Chains A and B, each alone.
Chain A
Amino acid sequence: MFNLVTFTPFQPTPGLAIWSLVIFLLFWFLMSKFAFKPIAQALAKREGDIQDAMDAAKKAREEMVNMKSENEKLLAQAREERAKILQDAKEIKNQIITEAREKAKEEASKIATNAMHDIENQKKAAITEVKNEIGNMALSIAEKVIRKELKGNTEQETFVNTLVKDLHLN
């Protein structure tokens, strides 16, 4: 029943071989020139673009991270500076206050000494004045006594007494 006939598809015929050679060479040439090369170039370019974009994104991310750390550094610095400034201000304040207090104390003591001196001077002046006055009084009394002596003893005596009494008033 099975008759093994000549297996025609496996007989290489020159006609078909030549046609397939021509068609395939044309196909290869046309496809390479007009299809595969432009597509390969476009794909390579796109891959390049994607790679570039990814690189750029990575760079931007890195930059952002850098910027963030820089910002933090700056912030920390600022905070530190603020603290420093505040401390300085406190110190200055304290200094000013102590200085002022000392100055005030000094001034006060100065004023007090001046006043003491004034008082002393006034006292001396007053004493001198009193002495002078007393001298003058004594002189005038002595003058008056001298003038009364000439009239009587008793009288002189009373008179001196009154003078003395007057002196006590001082």
Chain B
Amino acid sequence: MRNRIFIITLLSFIYLYPSVAQDNHQQVHQDTTTLQSSNTQDDHTQTGESHDAHADHADHDHAAFDPGATAIHHISDANVYSILDFVRIPLPTILYANDKGWDIFSSGKFHAGHHEDGHYSYNGYVLHHGSVHRVADAGFPMEGSVEVEGYAHKQEEKNGKKVDVNYALYQGKEYRLDARSTMDGGILGGGFTSFIDFSPTKNVISMILVSLFLFLMFRKAANAYKNNPTKAPSGIQGFLEPVFLFIRDDVAIPFIGKKHTIYLPFLLSVFFFILGLNLWGQVPFLGSVNVTGSLSVTMVLAILVFIIVNVNGNSHYWGHIFWMPDVPIPIKILLACVEVMGLFIKPLTLMLRLAGNISAGHIAILSFIGLIFIFGKSGESLGGSLVGTAVSIPLTMFMMAIEIIVAFVQAFVFTILTASFIGAATEDHHHAEEGHH
């Protein structure tokens, strides 16, 4: 009963919200057009090495479709939760800047519109492509809310590398924006900037929702097991039990052996967390969130795996890493180097495999949908759009089917590799002698 009420509330919210957002959207649309034109004007007046990405096509098409940028925009984390182009649920925004301190407010203050671009700034922060940026150039009002006319995107040379830089347009002038801090050290075009974004973003909200859903589902099953221990499994138990037993009997026990009871909850948590989020990201019209395709999330999981494996590693495991028995000394040294690298490469592959697979799946689906716009020349050719749709629908459906398999396979692969790492670190001595390579 409670579930039904929840679903009805959710559905009514989804249906009612667009009508509320519609007024906002129309206003937004006007803004966008003025914004676009101002963009083009700026591009034409712009001289020198920096030029807008749109500028090349701006002469004949002011909104040329860029499938790569669109796909990445759609799989990126955001400070608003957008469902289609109508529903934009504001999320809490928690920002910290060294020179300024904490700023906590709702992302509704940005009045996000098309492309999740904010139409207002707040305390010197703006929302561009869904994520919060901080205005770096002086002259921009750093307190309260002002209307932002638009955003510009440029590629600049920095230390011999091309870097994407965004600008906000305010009162006809461009103000350089700082993106939020990232921990990639500049390898992936990010780095530490003037502020850090601690907001519970779209990905965080998805994680909370999926975790809660899984928890309630498992709690229900656990109660059923507790209250009717002699009854045959029914309902939700019927789905969860085979998966639970699969992880226990085919993942935990073969790899870890007798000690599997200690690690089983972790393996199950990892499996269901990843599976739930993979599937949540595959639901159409629910924001197509890319949680398990975000490196931040898989990095955390991989770090936890690294800690669990190495904290529980026994002397036998460490012996095999630093001083491999039964081989000549030069090879011992060589193997120690390789094994120490392997210590870090193992969780690194876990992290990259999951994020890469899920992101790639999302990009593939978005690219197939993008065919509609490519064939339709961004809405200029109706016939082209129809052909694009006819091609796109079967391809997208095929890709989605594959993605559902990938959702299960990647969750399984992450879990089984975790189990094998734990098993290798904790296995008994005599056991290892037999299977030793």
Binding site for B on A (CB under 8 A): 1-21, 23-24, 26-28, 30-32, 34-40, 42-43, 45-46, 49
- A13 adjacent to B189 (CB under 8 Å): no
Contact A8 B225 (CB under 8 A): no
Q: Which residues of B contact A (CB under 8 A)?
A: 53, 57, 64, 66-69, 72, 75-77, 94, 131, 153, 164, 179-184, 188-190, 196-201, 203-204, 207-208, 211, 214-215, 218-219, 221-222, 225-226, 229-230, 240-241, 244-245, 248, 261, 264-266, 268-269, 272-273, 290, 293-297, 299-301, 304, 355, 359
Complex CA distance for A27 and B218, rounded to whole angstroms: 12
CB-contact partner of B219 in A4, A16, A19, A34, under 8 A? A34
Minimum CB–CB distance for B348 against chain A, Å: 12
| Docked-complex contact A40 and B76, CB < 8 angstroms | no
Q: Return the 5 tightest CB-CB contacts between A and B, nearest first.
A: A35-B218, A42-B225, A32-B265, A6-B189, A11-B182
Contact B225 A9 (CB under 8 A): no
Q: Is the Cβ of B200 less than 8 Å from the Cβ of A39?
A: no
Residue of B164, B245, B273 near A27 (CB, 8 A) is: B273
Q: State whether B199 touches A36 (Cβ < 8 A).
A: no
**Contact (Cβ within 8 A) A38 B272:** no
Q: A16-B296, A34-B219, A38-B225 are in contact. List 19 more A-B contacts (CB 8 A).
A: A1-B66, A2-B67, A5-B164, A6-B164, A7-B188, A8-B72, A9-B294, A11-B190, A14-B198, A15-B196, A16-B77, A19-B204, A21-B304, A23-B211, A27-B269, A28-B266, A31-B269, A35-B215, A43-B225
- The answer to whether residues A9 and B211 also contact, given A31-B272, A38-B226, A42-B226 and a CB cut-off of 8 A, is no
Task: List chain A residues, Cβ under 8 A from B211.
Answer: 23, 26-27
Q: How far is the CB of B40 from chain A (nearest CB, A)?
A: 16
- Residue on B with the closest CB to A44? B261
Contact B222 A24 (CB under 8 A): no
- Cβ distance A142 to chain B, nearest Cβ, rounded Å: 135
- Given A20-B297, A28-B269, A36-B264, A13 contacting B180 (CB threshold 8 A): yes
Contact (Cβ within 8 A) B269 A15: no
Minimum Cβ distance to chain B for residue A152 (Å): 150
Task: List chain B residues, Cβ under 8 A from A1.
Answer: 57, 64, 66
Distance (whole angstroms) from the CB of A112 to the closest CB of chain B: 94
Residue on B nearest A2 in the bound complex, by CB: B68
B269 in contact with A12 (CB, 8 Å): no
Q: Are A9 and B72 in contact (CB under 8 A)?
A: yes
B261 touches A40 (CB 8 A): yes
Is there contact, CB below 8 Å, between B72 and A5? yes
Q: A2-B67, A6-B189 are in contact. Are A20 and B77 (CB under 8 A)?
A: no
24 contacts between A and B (CB under 8 A): A3-B53, A3-B69, A5-B153, A7-B72, A8-B131, A9-B75, A11-B188, A12-B299, A13-B77, A16-B296, A19-B201, A20-B203, A20-B207, A24-B273, A28-B265, A28-B269, A32-B265, A32-B269, A36-B264, A36-B269, A39-B222, A39-B244, A42-B222, A43-B241
